[in-house]
Structure 1
Amino acid sequence: MAIPQTSVTDLPDDAVLLDVREQDEWDAGHAPGAVHIPLGDLPARVGELPQVDGPLAVTCKAGGRSARAVAWLSQQGYDVVNVDGGMGAWSAAGKPMESASGETPRVK
């Protein structure tokens, strides 16, 4: 099964993303409109997925974990798409980020 992909350049700066990274990665830096559900928690927390118009973009650090999340969510009937390059690509494209601590956000 092919994993649907999208580029960070195709997403608006205020896109609602599902971020499946671990807590320490999220705390270091994330997109302002993102919803954080670590990959391991996803089956138990699927009811917390944000409602968006069109496919929900899923991200992690580089795209591996989010690809697994997209594959699983697609099998459950969700309209989802993997963010190619993950938060590394998001940051490299100069997209907005924030950190939990208020420090300069970074991709961990």
Structure 2
Amino acid sequence: MIFGDDVAAVDAADVPQDAYLLDVREQYEWDAGHAPAAVHIAMAELSDRAGEIPRDQDIYVVCRSGVRSAQVTVALNQAGWLAKNVDGGMKRWAESGRPMEGAEEGPPYVA
């Protein structure tokens, strides 16, 4: 699915350091490597946990490559949040040299 100009997006390198970063990947992807200050709510859990997402600030949504997060961005914006897709996802985040940590042994990586 191509979203084009229909989805507000920002390059991973340009996500503000103090941003609310919502990581919608699966648990194994999160465990492999994620942004240190990110909040993890898997895409499948969003409907049950939407109340945890603040409405008084921009939400930056990230996944592995930007496709799932684009879908979530559209849904959040339609439901009244101010969401932006992190274009290129965690792959672009890592390429940009942004900090990462993981729950697994060894260096963090994008699964």
Is there any run of 5+ residues in structure 1 with no aligned partner, and where? none
Q: Which amino acid aligns with 2:87?
A: D
Where does the alignment leave 5 or more consecutive residues of structure 2 unmatched? none
The runs of 4+ residues in structure 1 deviating greater than 6 Å are: none
Cα distance change, pair 36–22 in 1 and its aligned pair in 2 (3 A)? same
Among 102, 105, 108, the alignment partner of 1:99 is 102
Per the TM alignment, residue 52 of structure 1 is displaced from its structure 2 partner at its CA by: 6.2
2:68 corresponds to 1:65: yes
Relative to the length of structure 1, the TM-score reads: 0.91
Aligned CA distance change for structure 1 residues 97 and 50 (closer, same or farther; 3 Å): farther
- Shift of residue 5 of structure 1? 0.4
CA distance in 2: counterparts of 1:51 and 1:32, whole angstroms: 21
Identity, in percent, stands at 48
Give the 5 Å matches for 1:6-45: 6-45=10-49
Whole-angstrom CA distance in 2 between matches of 1:90 and 1:31: 8
Q: What TM-score, normalized to structure 2?
A: 0.88
* Counterpart pick for 1:84 among 61, 72, 87: 87
Equivalent AA in structure 2 for residue 84 of structure 1: D
Q: In the alignment, residue 70 of structure 2 is paired with which amino acid?
A: A
Give the RMSD, CA atoms, in angstroms.
1.7
Residues 5 and 63 of structure 1: is their aligned pair in 2 closer, same or farther, counting only changes over 3 Å?
same
